[in-house]
Amino acid sequence: MVLNWEFLPLFAGFVIGFFLYQKYMFRGGGVIILPLLAIYFVKFPLSFPKLLFSALITYGALEVLYTRYIVYGRRLLYLALVIGMVVTLAFEDVLSSIGWYALVLPGLFAYNLHRENNSTSNMLKSAILLSVTFVFLVCVSLFSLYMV
């Protein structure tokens, strides 16, 4: 069985995400989002800022909807996905380079950041853990890309 180079960063992201959640209750944008963003950062470096920008706009919209209206749970997740898709559609080249599944990433990332922000954890600790985990997964992705 031949494994693709993306397997190692995905697996590392799942394991790290599991342990960070068990130890610190850190969601970090979801267990799948950070490894996928690291892979896309390595594979499509020009599209990555657009995905991140879409996630930040989606996050801001979610915060406004959450504070002004009684929207939470599954409804908030669906709103995050729809808003993320609409914002990402504004960047046509993201879809042409990454594909249709890039539409889901900003919404999922924004929803999980919203849940992290509204939990009992410290946002500074979350930002540090998110950054360190992302950099580590980018390094694992680069290692995997060039060694496998």
- Asked whether residue 2 is assigned to any structural domain, the reply reads no
Q: What pLDDT is stored for residue 114 in this prediction?
A: 85
Quote the number of domains for the chain.
1
- Average pLDDT of the segment spanning 114-134: 78
CB-count burial class (<10 Å; 0-12, 13-18, 19+) for 123: exposed
> With 0-12 CB in 10 A as exposed, 13-18 as middle and 19+ as buried, what is 111?
buried
pLDDT in tens, 52-85: 899 899 999 999 999 898 888 899 999 999 999 9
Determine, yes or no, domain membership for 15. Answer: yes
In tens, the pLDDT along 86-116 reads 998 887 666 666 677 778 888 998 898 888 7
pLDDT of residue 139: 94
pTM of the model: 0.83
Which residues neighbour 142 within 8 Å (Cβ) at sequence distance 6 or greater? 42
Residue 1 confidence (pLDDT) above 60: no
Residue 91 within a domain? yes
d(CA 123, CA 141): 26
In contact, 141 and 36? CB cutoff 8 Å: no
Question: What CA–CA distance (Å, rounded) separates 128 from 22?
Answer: 17
Domain range enclosing 127: 7-147
Residue 145 has what pLDDT? 86
CA 66 to chain centre: 20
Structure tokens at 32: 């799948």
pLDDT, position 43: 87
Residue 51 falls inside a structural domain: yes
